Amino acid sequence: MTDLRDAAASELEALATRVDAAVAALGDLEPTAKAAAEELKAALEDIHRAGLVTIVQRMRADDGARPLLFDLVDDPVVRMLLTLHGIIRPDSMTLAGRALEAVRPQLHSHGGDVNLVRIEDGVALVRLEGACNGCSMSSVTLRELVEKALLQGVPSISAVEVLPGEPSPTVISVEAVLTGRGGVDVEAEGWVRVGPAEAVSPGELTGHHLVGVTGTQADVIVVNLDQRFAAYRNECAHEALPLDNAVIDAAAGTLTCPWHGFCYDAVSGECLSAPGAQLEQLPLRVDDGDIWVRVSE
């Protein structure tokens, strides 16, 4: 297995070197020839992308072909090809999770922690946890450690934004739902009705596209595990692929992404496959048997 991985890595490096050399050679052409070469390159890439998109879509829709698709995406050459054509996203979340894991012991030693929420357009959105009151590390230093780890560890991240802290999302037992407790203010900005709590059976999840009163939209999944509900953005922390078909293991308390097998704690959203990354959990409340999720920041 090691020999196969080494061979794949070597092949990938050789192909990448050839691509870099060809792109560099374009700069030596006279303008007319360069324009023609770039147009040929763009036309071929468009043809390749259209064909690859069709292949991926049809394999994903076929129950028999889907497992093979997942295996192919794990191949480094296939991954590079699909990434170059924008069919899958670069694995920034996993890289960011590893970068934060390296500094987490230092954060913990001063009573602090960090939660990587998501990455948007090269900006890592994080929440700092722990006040660090009475210790030598200030919140400014905490932020500096996180920024340094992400900016140096993930080439695709150009900036870090610290989101304001907020209470942990509410997770309410089914017993509370059935008695009508929850007390959510349905007029509160950002809260959107998902539907009856009884529609989400224990050990299952449902996907929803929600639109708030201000126009804010979000694709979310609602999980019912061991008589508890939780809501997450419908994006795997690995490559932001949808989790509609994720597998719930009620006995283990886990949610597993159907694409690459990344495993999460179904209640907290913590990634068990890549420590430091996690699903973005959204506030969830229940009122008179209906599930409500807050989709605004």
> What single DSSP character describes residue 261?
-
pLDDT tens, 221-244? Answer: 999 987 788 999 999 887 788 898
pLDDT tens, 132-153? Answer: 444 445 566 788 888 998 998 8
Tallying the residues shown for the chain, one arrives at 297
Separation CA 225–CA 255 (nearest Å): 10
What pLDDT score was predicted for residue 41? Answer: 83
Q: Are residues 73 and 40 in the same domain?
A: yes
Residues 6+ apart with CB under 8 A from 261: 70, 273
Mean pLDDT over residues 34-61, rounded?
85
pLDDT tens, 173-199? Answer: 555 444 444 454 454 567 899 999 899
Mean pLDDT over residues 192-208, rounded?
91
Band the pLDDT of 78: cuts 50, 70, 90: confident
Band the pLDDT of 37: cuts 50, 70, 90: confident
pLDDT tens, 1-24? Answer: 445 545 655 666 777 678 778 777
CA distances from 10 to 5, 76, 112, 166 (A): 9, 10, 41, 46
> What residue has token string 């998109």?
53
91: which 2 tokens? 């694995």
208 phi, psi to nearest 5 deg: -145, 145
Choice between 85 and 255, residue whose per-residue pLDDT is larger: 255
Q: Give the range of the structural domain holding residue 127, as residue numbers without chain letter.
A: 92-162
With respect to residue 10, please indicate whether it lies within any of the assigned structural domains: yes
With respect to residue 261, please indicate whether it lies within any of the assigned structural domains: yes
Q: Is 171 helix (H, G, I), strand (E, B) or coil?
A: coil
- Among 162, 184, 214, which residue terminates a domain? 162
Separation CA 163–CA 119 (nearest Å): 12
Residue 209, pLDDT > 90, answer: yes
Q: Are residues 57 and 144 in the same domain?
A: no
27: which 2 tokens? 């700069």
The continuous run of DSSP H or E covering 2 comes out as: helix 2-26
Q: Are residues 286 and 180 in the same domain?
A: yes
Overall pTM surpassing 0.85 (yes/no): no
With respect to residue 168, please indicate whether it lies within any of the assigned structural domains: no
What pLDDT score was predicted for residue 294? Answer: 87
With respect to residue 167, please indicate whether it lies within any of the assigned structural domains: no
With respect to residue 181, please indicate whether it lies within any of the assigned structural domains: yes
243: which 2 tokens? 């989790």
What pLDDT score was predicted for residue 232? Answer: 93
Band the pLDDT of 270: cuts 50, 70, 90: confident
Residue 143 belongs to domain with CATH number: 3.30.300.130
Q: Are residues 100 and 78 in the same domain?
A: no
Percentage above 90 pLDDT, the chain = 9
> What single DSSP character describes residue 271?
B
With respect to residue 9, please indicate whether it lies within any of the assigned structural domains: yes
Q: Are residues 149 and 214 in the same domain?
A: no
Percentage above 70 pLDDT, the chain = 79
Band the pLDDT of 90: cuts 50, 70, 90: low
204: which 2 tokens? 């299952």
Q: Are residues 17 and 97 in the same domain?
A: no
Separation CA 182–CA 283 (nearest Å): 12
Separation CA 168–CA 188 (nearest Å): 17
Mean pLDDT over residues 37-44, rounded?
86
CA distances from 16 to 22, 62, 67 (A): 10, 32, 27
Choice between 215 and 276, residue whose per-residue pLDDT is larger: 215
With respect to residue 117, please indicate whether it lies within any of the assigned structural domains: yes
With respect to residue 169, please indicate whether it lies within any of the assigned structural domains: no
What pLDDT score was predicted for residue 133? Answer: 42
Residue 110, pLDDT > 50, answer: yes
Mean pLDDT over residues 245-262, rounded?
87
Choice between 123 and 63, residue whose per-residue pLDDT is larger: 123
What pLDDT score was predicted for residue 220? Answer: 94
CB 129 within 8 A of CB 114: yes
Sheet containing 228-233: which strands, arranged edge to edge? Answer: 204-211, 217-225, 228-233, 281-282
Q: What is the number of structural domains in the chain?
A: 3
